[in-house]
Each structure stands twice: as structure tokens, then as C-alpha cells.
Amino acid sequence: MPSYTAPLRDMRFVMFDLLEAERDLAALPAFAGVDRDTIDAVLEEAARFASTVVQPLNAVGDIEGCRIDADGNVSAPPGFRDAYRQFGDAGWPALSCDPAFGGQGLPVLVNNRVYEMLNSANQAWLMYSGLSHSAYECLVAFGNEEQKRVYLPKIVSGEWSGTMCLTEAQCGTDLGLIKTRADAAGDGAYALTGTKIFISAGEHDCSENIIHLVLARLPDAPAGTRGISLFLVPKFLPDADGAPGARNTIRAGSLEHKMGIHGNATCVMNLDGARGWLIGEPHKGLAAMFVMMNSARLGVGMQSLGLAEMATQNAIAYARDRIQGRAATGPANPGKAADPIIVHPDVRRMLFTCKAHTEGGRALATWVAQLTDRAHAHPDPAVRAEANELIALLTPVVKAALTDNGFEVCNLAVQVLGGHGFIREWGMEQLVRDARINMIYEGTNGIQALDLLGRKVLHDGGARLGLLRKLVGAFLDVQAGDERMQAFTAPLRALDTELAAVSASVAADVGADPDALGAASTPYLRLLGHYVHAWLWARMAKLALDAPARDAFLEGKLATARFYFSKLLPETSALLAVIRSGPGSLMTLDAAAF
């Protein structure tokens, strides 16, 4: 069976050395009292909980799955409910929530590292509470005072969990096709009728109530996305004391039979006149839902980062122990019949790729969490505004680049383990199956790419991209005289120039051919992902080079940075060629001829 040890040294390196979190938090009044000792204590306890309570249930959930009875009641796999109770009792759901609603008021920076650990340990289990924080953010932003009073303290405590009910059989990304209707009940509530599919944790027995955030149409709704409203639909209607009361008429019709995440109940949810309450204004539900959705997209990136860490750890451990063949330069272990496979260049290629994607992804995800704290809590409106613009630019990158890379890491881990990687008991094949969904839900990665290029880069004339390039340019200028950094700064500067040129080229192409956007978007997202990762890896290399004494950890960091720049970053040349090739070869064949 696989094992998991939280990468606390790397988390601390990223937070305190790379991102200078202590100094950054000191500038935010809400977090001025959060010091390194506090953060370390939280991370160490989270590491213990993840490895001893949650991770042992990962294989159990995969093998046992969930069960549904004739009345639509769903039971989570054995052990999940007790672990969820411990999770709530320890206060983990409240970590970065507002103290006004019972939260602990810690930074998102800390919360995300905790969630990375829990995703490594058991993604399917964490999904029972995974969307609760996103629902919390939506209600904080758009809920009325009564909704906040009744629901937020229960969500923050973990007693109640949340879901996001968007998808229907006839529509996924195109939410304008939604048919679920909401009719006024005459008492301020609405009666919702329709069917939603693919609802993660839509029904389960872990929390005592489930709060569904449901997209639906009012009778007078205009067509398309302009006619969508958002409703709060609880599984149990709160009574006068705020406790779960009568059962609402929203039930699970069936469980989806899935490729992975077997431990999480992915449900078809039927609403039969279910009572719900409007969130925000009529016909403006997408604005409210996108608060939740963007939070969830960042969370999905964290899911794949967690799986990538798990896969990387176990692949390295296996490669150190498994003996097969001899090193090309002569026996590395003459006392044994063969050498460990970690001596072979191609195995090292796979392991370095795993490390580069995982550690680079951690740096990116942690930086976006830091930006989120600035956006929420910095006293300077200009700093808050800039942080929000960078988050908007980077959200599709976190969601798509980290999930693409995470899936590749899990596949490489299977390859490192060879035949054992294909066998259930080693746990690697489960990681592949679990990771695959992350590239699909919360908006497929192709949709993320369209959002990035169309809305986040071209729509504002490259202003958001300019903010990112300004940060990269400032770093390059400071490092200009350091010869040790040339292996990192020269290719990054060249890529910066190419990124500016190809962005302008695509903008011109889209003006002449609407299909140019769709043809360029996916390689463009991967290109920008490399750009951000290269900047972060160059900064991490600088820290390692400047360290007064390099230990094994820093030597590994520097070696991985060199590998990234020499073996992975050259992919950008191919991506630039693909982007510049335009849509012609994609669009000339008639659909009937495929």
C-alpha cells in the first residue's frame, strides 16, 4: 500500500523563503498576529491528521465505494463519516473563515496547504467538505442577512456541508440551456423542479445537513445565461431553532458509476418542488455562482497537486528500492545482484518530471493563495485590485495546468513502478483514475483555456498579462549581473519576449478569424503555465544558490530547477509553433468526413 508523509520542508521553503509569508502577512491587519510558529503548529497537526486518519481510508473508499438505498439515502464508505466528524471537531473547516461566523480567521495561505495534504491523503474523502468552503464564500458575498445567520455558522463548523448543483443532462458548460424551474411558493420561498447530474457529494451521511446551491429559472426568465437565478436548497429545512427539521424534496435518484473517486458520492439529484430561497438578485445567479465556481477551480488544482505529491513520493521510494540492471557507468551497488532503478537516466527523467511539476505547482498554488489573502485583507485598495487581477489571470492556469501536470505525474508514477504500478495494492493506478476527473469538472481544461485567452488576456488588451510580465521583468532585471543565474534567466527572458509577440499575434488573428481563438487557446494556456513555472523555478534556484550552506534539500531543489529549464521548458518552442499555425488544419475538414 502507498504511504504519505506531508512535504513540510518544501511547504515551509515556499511560504517563508520564496514568498516571504511572514513579512507579507504582517502587512495585513487581519493576520498581523499570525507568525511562523502558529503556521508550523497548524501544518504539523494537519500532517498528522492526513497521514494517520485520512490516508488509511483512501483504498477503502476506492474498493468499497458508496451505497444508496431505495429512498435515495447514501452511505459513504466505512470510516469516512467518523473521519469527517474528527475533521469538524478539530476545527479544520473553520480554518480560514471569518470569526464573525465562527471561523478561526487564518490566512488562505495556510488553509490551502492543509487542503493539499488532505487531497494527497484522500481526495474522495475531502470532496465531502470540498465545496463547503466555496458555498461559504458565495453566501458571504451574496447571501442575505438571514441566510448568513442560519447557514454560515453551520457550514463553518462542518456540521453542514455544501454542494454546487449546475449540470443537467442536456447541458454542462453551456449553462444557458438549464431547464430546472423555480416557481414562487407565496411565502418568500420557491418550489424547484428539475434534475441535476454529476453532483459531487450530493447526498451522504457525513454531515447532518447538506446545503445545495442550485441554478434554476424563474417563470419570467429571459432565455440564455441572462435568465439564470441561484437558489439555496437545504436537504433538511432548518426549524425555528436552526436545527435540521423536515426533509426537503431534493433526493438522490442514483449514484454515478465512475472511473475514479469511488469514495465520493457523485449523484443524480432530483428536485420535486423542493423548497429553496433566492440568493442575490433574480436572473443574476451566474455572478453569484462564479464566486463559488472560481473558488472550486482553484480547489481542483489543489486536488491534482495533492495527488501528484502522493504519486511522486511513492515513485521515488520505489525507485530507490527496486533493483534491476546496472548503471551504465558501472555497478552502483556491487554487493547486490543489480542496482536500484534510480540509477537509470530514463527513470530519473520520470522522477525529475514528477518533482518539477509537483514542486512548481506547489509554488504557484501557494502564491495564488497569498494573492487571495492580499485581495481580501490588504489595507491599500490598489494592492487589493492588483491581487484580484492576477488571481483572475491565474485561476484557469491553476485549474488546467496543475491538473494536466498532475495527471502526467500519476501516469509517470505507474510507469516507474512498472507492473506493480498497474496492480491495485500499490495504489498508483487509483491515483491515475482519481486524477482524471480533475481535468474535466468545474469547466474542462479546454474551457479554462478559452477563458484565459479570450477573457483574461485579449478582452482587456493584455492588461492582466502585463501585471504578470512586470513581476517577471523586475526579477530578470535584478538578476541581470549574476552569471550563476544565466541558465535560468536567459531562457525566461527569451520566453517573455515570445509571449508578448505571440499574444499580439493571436489578438490580430482573432480579429480576422473567430476560430483562431479556439485553435490557440489550449497551447496558449500551457505556454503561460510554463512561463509562470519558469519564473518561480528561477526564483527557487536563486534561493538555493544564495543559501550560506546547501543541504540535500537545497541541492535537490537546484537540480530540479536545472532539469526543468533544460528538459521541460523547451516544450514552449513547439507550443509557439502550434499557436502560430492557426486554425486552418483544424477547420477545413467537413464534420461528416471525420
Supply the angle between the helices 108-130 and 80-89 in degrees, to the nearest 10.
150
Active site residue 20: no
What is the amino acid identity at position 241? D
For residue 349, CA distances in Å to 318, 387, 546 come to 15, 36, 26
Residue 11: strand, helix, or coil = helix
Q: Where are the alpha helices (DSSP H) in 378-485?
A: 381-417, 428-436, 445-450, 463-478
Question: How many CB atoms within 10 Å of residue 474?
Answer: 10
Strands 236-238 and 190-200: unpaired
Catalytic member of 22, 389, 442, 498: 442
C-alpha cell at 500: 508578448
Contacts of range 48-52, beta carbons closer than 8 Å, 24 or more positions apart: 49/86, 49/87, 49/90, 49/92, 49/118, 50/4, 50/6, 50/117, 50/118, 50/120, 50/121, 51/3, 51/4, 51/5, 51/6, 51/121
Q: What letters, b where the CB count within 10 A reaches 16 and e where it falls short, cover 258-288?
A: bebbbbbbbbbbbbeebbbbbbbeebbbbeb
Pairing between β-strand 67-68 and β-strand 236-238 as defined by DSSP bridges: unpaired
Residue 189: strand, helix, or coil: coil
Burial (CB count <10 Å: 0-12, 13-18, 19+), residue 493: middle
Question: For the chain, first and last CA: distance in Å?
Answer: 44
Three-state DSSP class for 135? Answer: helix
Report d(CA 116, CA 123) in Å as an integer.
9
Between the alpha carbon of residue 19 and those of residues 11, 22, 109, 585, the distances in Å are: 11, 9, 10, 43
* Helix axis angle, 132-142 to 108-130, nearest 10°: 110
Query: For residues 62 and 79, is the Cβ–Cβ distance under 8 A?
Result: no
Active site residues: 442
